[in-house]
Structure formats: C-alpha cells, structure tokens
Amino acid sequence: MIDYNYETDFELSSEARISTWLTQAILNEGFELGEISYVFCDDEYLHKLNVEFLNHDTLTDVISFDYSVGELIQGDVFISIERVKDNAKTFDVPFEDELHRVIIHGVLHYCGYKDKSKAEADLMRDKENQYLDMLKGLL
C-alpha cells in the first residue's frame, strides 16, 4: 500500500497512476510492496528532519527512511516540493519529470541502489531513467 500525505499546498495529479508505476517498479526489481508513505512538504519541514535525524544542516529534495525487511519494501519518503521546483529550473526539466525522479529515487534506495560513488550514482540515474520511461508508457 502506498499512502500520500501533504504538508504543503500541493497534490499529485494522479495518485493511482503513481501507485501502479511504483508497484510495477518494485516487482520488476524482485521485491514485494509493503507500506510506503510519501510526505510532500516544504524546505523548512524537510530541513528540520535532515538536522534532527541525519545531522545534516542542509536543504535537500528527498529523504527516505527505509523500514524494509528482506524482500518486503517499506518506508517513509519525504519530498520538498520547493527543492524539486528549484532543481527542475536548475536542470531545465519540467517540474513533473523532476518530481517523478525523486519519487522513484527513494524506492530505488529501498531496492538496494546507492548513490555515494560515481559508479553507484550512474547506475541509480540509469534506473531512474528506466522507470521514468516506464511511467510515460502508463500515460
């Protein structure tokens, strides 16, 4: 089950389509969907979590807390809509594309993908692109 919570003035245009996409991605990676909660918030909300739980005094676009057990994917994904908007402008991509990228990014971490090294980050980006293409096919 995937839940969507809104702590800012924003709502996804199609929660059902996003849920179908995420579920397919999880199954494609060989895992099972447990419970994932997405929280869409602002910079202040996410910065507070970043400082409190990760001891990082910086702004970020996404933080994911992984509660997965074995093959069962579970967790909380917090996304700053302000950061996503700024990043979309910086990278010159549509807001929705950048939003979908951070939405799948959290799930890919739960599936074991990392992004600390250049090689890991490249693989993560390839996987993000693969699943962004899949989402376009669901339109």
Q: Is 105 assigned to a binding site?
A: yes
Q: Is 115 assigned to a binding site?
A: yes
Reading across the β-sheet that carries 62-66, which strands appear in turn? 2-6, 32-41, 72-80, 62-66
SS3 15: helix
Q: Is 100 assigned to a binding site?
A: no
pLDDT value of position 28: 96
pLDDT in tens, 8-33: 999 998 999 999 999 999 999 999 99
For residues 66 and 109, is the Cβ–Cβ distance under 8 A? Answer: yes
pLDDT value of position 53: 84
For residues 79 and 61, is the Cβ–Cβ distance under 8 A? Answer: yes
> Cα separation of 31 and 29, whole Å?
6
Question: For 138, which DSSP code?
Answer: T
pLDDT value of position 65: 93
More confident position, 107 or 137: 107
CATH at residue 62: 3.40.390.30
Domain region containing 75: 2-137
pLDDT value of position 139: 59
Q: How many domains does the chain have?
A: 1
Nearest residue to 80 (alpha-carbon basis) of 127, 18, 13, 10: 10
For residues 79 and 62, is the Cβ–Cβ distance under 8 A? Answer: yes
pLDDT value of position 95: 96
Residue 138: pLDDT above 90? no
- Lowest mean pLDDT across 71-85, 87-101, 125-139: 125-139
Q: What is the phi/psi pair of residue 40, to 5°?
A: -95, 125
> How many percent of the chain have pLDDT more than 70?
99
pTM of the model: 0.91
Q: Tell how far CA 69 is from the center of its chain.
A: 19
pLDDT value of position 10: 94
pLDDT value of position 126: 96
Q: Alpha helices of 1-139 — where are they, by DSSP H?
A: 15-28, 43-54, 81-91, 95-110, 118-137
Nearest residue to 1 (alpha-carbon basis) of 46, 41, 47, 32: 32
